[in-house]
Structure 1
Amino acid sequence: MSKLFFTADTHFGHESILRLCKRPFDSPEAMDEILIARWNSKVAPNDLVYHLGDISFRAGKPPQDYLERLHGQIHLIIGNHDSREKLEGSPRLRSISDIKEISWKGQRIVLCHYPMREWPGAWSGAWHLFGHVHGNLDDQPLGYSLDVGIDSHDYAPLAVEEIAAIMATRDKHFGS
């Protein structure tokens, strides 16, 4: 049975991200290899992965070169550093969206690259998963919203069960 994963902000090939986010890698190439290894150690080929944007940035090769090395059936939520034109038609991407709603075991989940202060279903317990902020909101959680970017989660995708465990510690925040 396949598993469900979420991640964001891999920024494959992006040299400046090492400094900007204080990533503990010696070079973009070393970062890329470690990120791919961590991804593939958790995700199996038939698992479902939602990547919430910024696959790569300023890399010397196209994003498809990185995607080809990653396990899973990948759905992309476009980030500010992704080019829809360059990614459409990629055989590794099952879908490309700006925002998407899915359900897991009856749990409504709203996916967007950008964090929202309020999202569809927030008042009725919907989760909001996002990226973009590279952990800069981790000390300010808002209800059932979560930065699933790799900078906040040991440089690897999060299984939905891991997210459920985090959400179980949160106050609903919206409504009563």
Structure 2
Amino acid sequence: MDKWNETVNIDDDVYILGDVSWHNVTKTIGLLNNLNGNKHLVVGNHDKKFLKNRDFREQFVEVTNYKEIALDDREKMVLYYVIIRSPVLIIIIMVGIIYMVMYIIALNGK
């Protein structure tokens, strides 16, 4: 948490790409509440239960299933997407972590 708050300023936008926490919702809310930044959640498949909790949802300025952001005049995609295909269960998870890190670095001017 200290490293996060050293890197992320209070008014920075941070995109959290799904599966926020393995803790219970109460502990997760406490952790999120102590993290700097305007938190945007791109929903992961393990976030569904937490999203039923109003206090959890209020930790984020935005909750969405898909998000695109612009950086350096080019479009960047932040994506957490699960595809389940039957009868053979195929799960494809694509996470735009590189773009999230680039965005945070760009916001901090480093």
Q: Shared fold (TM-score greater than 0.5)? A: yes
Matched, 1:74 2:17: no
Name whichever structure is richer in strand by fraction: 2
1:60/1:82 CA distance change after superposition, 3 Å? closer
8 Å contact 2:17–2:97 — kept in the other structure?
no
Paired residue for 1:57, among 11, 19, 22? 22
Q: Secondary structure at the match of 1:113?
A: strand
Q: 1:60 & 1:95 partners in 2: Cα distance?
A: 18
Displaced runs of 4 or more, over 4 A: none
Q: Does 1:158 align with 2:101?
A: yes
Which residue of structure 2 lines up, in the alignment, with residue 94 of structure 1? 61
- Is the CA contact (8 Å cut-off) linking 2:14 and 2:104 kept in structure 1? no
Local SS of the residue matching 1:158: helix
Question: What are the Cα deviations for residues 61-116 of structure 1, in whole angstroms up to 9, with x where unaligned?
Answer: 34221110000001000012113222677332100000111212321111112489
By how many angstroms is 1:161 displaced? Answer: 6.8
SS in 2 for 1:93: coil
Report the residue type matching 1:107 in the other structure. R
- Cα 1:112–1:96 change in 2 (3 A) is same
Larger Rg belongs to: 1
Closer, same or farther: CA 101–87 of 1 in aligned 2, 3 Å: farther
Structure 2 vs 1, CA of residues 85 and 60 (structure 1 numbering), >3 Å: closer, same or farther?
A: closer
Question: Where does structure 1 lack aligned partners over 5 or more consecutive residues?
Answer: 1-35, 117-128, 131-145, 149-156, 164-176
Structure 2 residues without counterparts, runs of 5 or longer: 84-93
Paired letter, 1:97: T
Q: Please give the TM-score of this superposition, normalised by the length of structure 1.
A: 0.44
After TM superposition, give the deviation of residue 50 of structure 1 in Å: 0.7
CA RMSD between the two structures: 3.0
Match of 1:106 in 2: 73
Q: 1:105 to 1:88 in 2, by over 3 A?
A: farther
Cα 1:44–1:162 shift into 2, 3 Å: closer
Amino acid of the residue matched to residue 44 of structure 2? G
Percent of residue pairs identical: 25
Separation (CA, whole Å) in 2 of partners of 1:73 and 1:161: 12
